[in-house]
Amino acid sequence: MKFVDEVRIQVKAGDGGPGAVSFRREKFVPRGGPNGGNGGKGGSIWAEATENATTLLDYRYEPIHKARNGEPGRGSDQYGHDGPDVTLKVPIGTLIKDADTGEVLFDLSAHGERALLAKGGRGGMGNMHFATATRQAPRFAQPGEPGEERELVFELKLLADVGLIGFPNAGKSTLVSRLSKARPKVADYPFTTLTPHLGVVAYKDHQSFVMADIPGIIEGAHEGAGLGHQFLKHVERCRLLIHLVDCGIESMGEDASEGDRAPTRDYETLNRELRLYSEALSQKPQIVAATKVDIPEARERAEAFASELKSRGIDCFLISPATGEGLAPLLDAAARVLFAPKKTP
């Protein structure tokens, strides 16, 4: 299934039905009064978050949604039927914005949470409501009110406890597949992952958390370079970031010149991109892991990189997503952040 995380749609609620102008005409009721009923209410349009949806793809191909109008009122004091409501199912984590102003109107972050997108118009009153002692035969009724119409943007931000960040081909997808039942595409070339993947990681004592691999962020991502700008927003909801630093690139070396890849340079570059995109994002708890230590040269670089970070007061885990080495301590560190008892004020 294609992953779509932002769509623009148009919604139009149903108009209210007009009230009826009608009078009683019965054989033995010579002076029958008005009996026109009210029009029905127009259908409203709702959005509802559901765990059964993972993408906004359907709305890419069906961007216009209209609810039915209310039925007109009828004689004999009969009211028109209300138009049925329309419910648009969206994935959990969907933001709903005004398309013109960009204002966030709703944030659907739980299963079953609903939001009223467009309210149906009220039905008009029939002439039975306008009879008075001095106006016993009103020959008018109210028209129905128009339903609301607006343009909206649905924006999906994945709900994950842990977000994996790192340069392309750092082993994010491999790590997710190793720790969960998710099976993202894995290959030995950059930008293998074109969409985020979620996996549920089982931990000790029946505890679990959701992990997401965020497609490759590169230098300049906050300005739209590579794929990073498209997916940086998915990191914003994560409670913890695991920063994977690739130490297995063949061209890496201790004498890396300006512009070449090096573990420390990659680490600082990615953190700078997070900070430039969002200051709040750069303040999230972060665990650093040097990857691909199953390669001898990579292990040497990883150990040197970990030593440098330790001098800054930052712990660094040496792991291999391919073989599973070092993953248990990494999970323990993540669990200490995720499952730490909350401090009471």
The tens digit of pLDDT for each residue in 261-275 reads 788 888 888 888 888
**By mean pLDDT, which of 47-61, 63-77, 96-110, 239-253 is the weakest?**
239-253
Name 36's Cβ contacts closer than 8 Å, sequence gap at least 6: 19, 20, 21, 22, 23, 73, 74, 75, 126, 127, 128, 141
- Buried residues in 27-41 as b, exposed as e (16+ CB within 10 A): eeeeeeebbbbbbbb
Could you tell me the pLDDT band of residue 226, with boundaries at 50, 70 and 90?
A: very low
Pairing of strands 286-291, 316-318: parallel
Of 178, 4, 10, nearest in space to 88 by CA: 10
Q: What structural domains and CATH numbers belong to the chain?
A: 6-156 (2.70.210.12), 162-338 (3.40.50.300)
188 vs 155, residue with greater confidence: 155
Using CA of residue 337, residue 305, residue 173, residue 59, what is the dihedral sign? positive
pLDDT at 227: 45
Could you tell me the pLDDT band of residue 252, with boundaries at 50, 70 and 90?
A: low
124 vs 185, residue with greater confidence: 124
Q: CA 17, CA 184: separation in Å to the nearest integer?
A: 51
Q: Is 169 left (phi over 0), alpha (psi -120 to 50) or beta?
A: left
pLDDT at 195: 61
Q: Is the pLDDT of residue 236 over 80?
A: no
Pairing of strands 6-12, 149-156: antiparallel
Burial of 185 (0-12, 13-18, 19+ CB in 10 A): exposed
The tens digit of pLDDT for each residue in 75-108 reads 888 999 999 999 999 988 888 999 998 898 998 9
54 vs 18, residue with greater confidence: 18
pLDDT at 342: 60
Q: Is the pLDDT of residue 256 over 50?
A: no
Could you tell me the pLDDT band of residue 198, with boundaries at 50, 70 and 90?
A: confident
Q: CA 231, CA 263: separation in Å to the nearest integer?
A: 22
Q: Is the pLDDT of residue 122 over 80?
A: yes
The tens digit of pLDDT for each residue in 240-250 reads 899 999 888 76
**By mean pLDDT, which of 2-16, 143-157, 178-192, 231-245 is the weakest?**
178-192
Could you tell me the pLDDT band of residue 176, with boundaries at 50, 70 and 90?
A: confident
Q: Is the pLDDT of residue 228 over 80?
A: no
The tens digit of pLDDT for each residue in 292-314 reads 999 888 898 999 999 999 999 99
Determine what percent of the chain falls in helix, strand and coil, rounding each to the nearest 5. 25, 25, 55
Q: What percent of the chain is modeled with pLDDT above 90?
A: 37
DSSP conformation letters of 281-294: HHTS-EEEEEE-TT
pLDDT at 93: 83
Using CA of residue 57, residue 58, residue 59, residue 60, what is the dihedral sign? positive
CB 35 within 8 A of CB 76: yes
Across the range 126-142, mean pLDDT stands at 89
Q: CA 190, CA 201: separation in Å to the nearest integer?
A: 25
Q: What is the dihedral of CA 324, 187, 260, 217, to 10 degrees?
A: -90
Return the beta strands (E) in 99-196 as ranges: 104-108, 114-118, 149-156, 162-165
Q: What is the mean pLDDT of the chain?
A: 82
| Residues belonging to the chain | 345
Alpha helices, DSSP H only, in 183-288?
Answer: 228-231, 263-277, 279-282
pLDDT at 221: 43
* Amino acid in position 261: R
pLDDT at 152: 95
State pTM to two decimals.
0.64
Within 10 A of 87 (CB to CB), how many other CB atoms are there?
Answer: 14
Across the range 121-145, mean pLDDT stands at 91
pLDDT at 57: 82
CB 283 within 8 A of CB 235: no
